[in-house]
A and B are shown apart, each in its own frame.
Chain A
């Protein structure tokens, strides 16, 4: 099986989020970057498991600048065979998806994996966009994925439940919690990753149609009002009269 995993780089979950003084740019000073957890823990690991079970290759793709190579190498250390980086500084999901689709369209992958969303922009868009550009079926929010011959079955997380679906290869899938278990790269993997191919290719021209122009921090919470266990009637009254949520 020929598998492609889309990976992106995001600030670590505990990073302090700050912006330039005019609010126009994300302030990357002191920010620790990681591979987006949905890409790493679920999409990549499930792709590796499928390769181990059925044979084939796992390719990583990232759309970004050279500073992303560290995250890509981590993916190679976890077990991917090779990687491609489309060299540019994208501003929108559509631009990213276009670049991925350009590459994927030439390579005829059986399954294109991505995470269900990135933990920075939380948009959940790229998988659907890649699927549309490639005119492929899309299985979103998959928490399970099994492949047998040319057919895959998946469990999709939907509001208040699960949907079981069946689809023929090729298709695009977005990975949610449950699809696999995180793998920690070992020393051998890290050493081998250094020698695995990471090809850098140029982007195709494409317009940025939707871009973040202004960032702000949410208004600070007013300080908490404290109660003890014997003041619950008062708390309920405030939830009704002040917060108006009951």
Chain B
């Protein structure tokens, strides 16, 4: 059985949970197996995971799961794996999933692949691909342990509805008390977090100063995108650190990445080159970013960006 761990936040599933179920469903099909979903803690409409291909949905509700502690979550998942006889466990490659993947591999003596982005193939061994060297290459892994654990890269697969909601069964497990105590969670409200954003508008040193960011925010606002920035811009405090993308910042893979006044240094590209479509706005025709772009606009960003925003507005009005 393929068991996917459906991540939720404040009782609501994230889109990544549906991606993981679709991925688990396809993995189960490839293996001639079944797919089930495990929900940890409270989550509304858990049975809806059936729509994306979970043949069964299990839930563990225990006060110890109210806050995240990797030891407690690992104990819960490992117990479910044992009770259900699962042989493939699928997590999201998120801060939570990454904190659990390694623990589960060690606990279950399981081969792991972190950041898988293709459905496994099983003829000639269990094989799955992931991006390595910060997007500069792809590696295919072979996993040869009886139990396998994978974490799925965000936005690598789109959720597909293939069935209908199923009933939810409670699993009884005994869990240790959390040792890592969460004191406070501070969230940037109102925006899709960068790692989960499908549309990203990013700007760099070409902006000249923080006071000019209005045109970037306006563009992002019009298309519903999350804002990002290059490292020097975060380093000098023009933008908050959590916007910094690249090798030493966040690695993202949105459907659309619009880069404004960013040269496209290799360390910047390392975090964004898996984006599906890249638009580059730069006044220097020699800027390296144009080589990584699908669409390029050569020109002064202070002229181009307002015009692009206006064009998106016209497009939205026609829709």
Residues of A within 8 A of B (CB): 11, 13-14, 17, 19, 37, 92-94, 97-98, 119-129, 131-133, 135, 137-141, 153, 156-168, 171, 177-178, 207, 209-218, 221-222, 224-233, 235-240, 243, 245-246
Contact = CB atoms under 8 A, between A and B. Distances in A.
B311 interface: yes
Contacts of A153: 183
Contacts of B277: 239, 243, 245
A205 B68 CA distance: 33
Interface in B78-130: 94-96, 98-107, 109-115, 127
Contacts of B144: 209-210
A217 B138 CA distance: 6
10 contacts: A94-B105, A94-B106, A120-B132, A132-B74, A209-B105, A209-B111, A216-B138, A222-B294, A224-B294, A236-B315
Given A93-B102, A177-B244, A235-B295, 6 more contacts: A13-B266, A97-B102, A159-B194, A165-B183, A178-B241, A243-B256
B247 A13 contact: yes
Contacts of B210: none
A235 B185 contact: no
A146 B276 CA distance: 40
Contacts of A98: 106
B207 interface: no
A59 to B, nearest CB: 21
Interface stretch (B23-31, B58-66, B166-174, B299-307): B299-307
B95 A140 contact: yes
Nearest to B181: A166
Interface residues of B, number: 98
A19 B223 CA distance: 40
B51 to A, nearest CB: 23
Contact of B183 (A138, A164, A236): A164
Interface of B: 68-71, 74, 94-96, 98-107, 109-115, 127, 131-145, 148, 179-188, 191-196, 198-199, 223, 241-242, 244, 247-249, 251, 255-256, 266-267, 270, 273, 276-277, 279-280, 290-300, 303-304, 307-308, 310-312, 314-315
Given A94-B106, A163-B185, A11 B133 contact: yes
A161 B188 contact: yes
Contact of A215 (B138, B192, B298, B300): B138
Most B C-beta atoms less than 10 A away, residue of A93, A125, A177: A125
A140 B98 contact: yes
Contacts of B276: 243, 245
Contacts of B94: 159
Nearest to B257: A245
B291 A226 contact: no
- The 7 A-B pairs with the shortest beta carbon distances in the complex, nearest first, are A160-B193, A128-B102, A210-B111, A209-B111, A161-B187, A232-B311, A132-B106
Contacts of A157: 95, 242
B197 to A, nearest CB: 9
B95 to A, nearest CB: 5
A171 B105 CA distance: 19
Contacts of A11: 133
Contacts of A207: 145
Given A157-B242, A161-B185, A165-B182, A177 B248 contact: yes
B295 to A, nearest CB: 5
Contacts of B179: 137, 167-168, 171
A123 B128 CA distance: 14
B137 A218 contact: yes
A209 B143 contact: yes
A209 B102 contact: no
A5 B138 CA distance: 29
A165 B180 contact: yes
Contacts of A137: 69-71, 179-180
A16 to B, nearest CB: 9
Contacts of A243: 256, 276-277, 294-295
A159 to B, nearest CB: 4
B209 to A, nearest CB: 21
Given A125-B105, A138-B70, A167-B180, A227 B296 contact: yes
Contacts of B304: 229, 232
Nearest to A92: B111
A213 to B, nearest CB: 5
B100 A213 contact: no
B131 to A, nearest CB: 7
B14 to A, nearest CB: 8
A238 B187 CA distance: 35
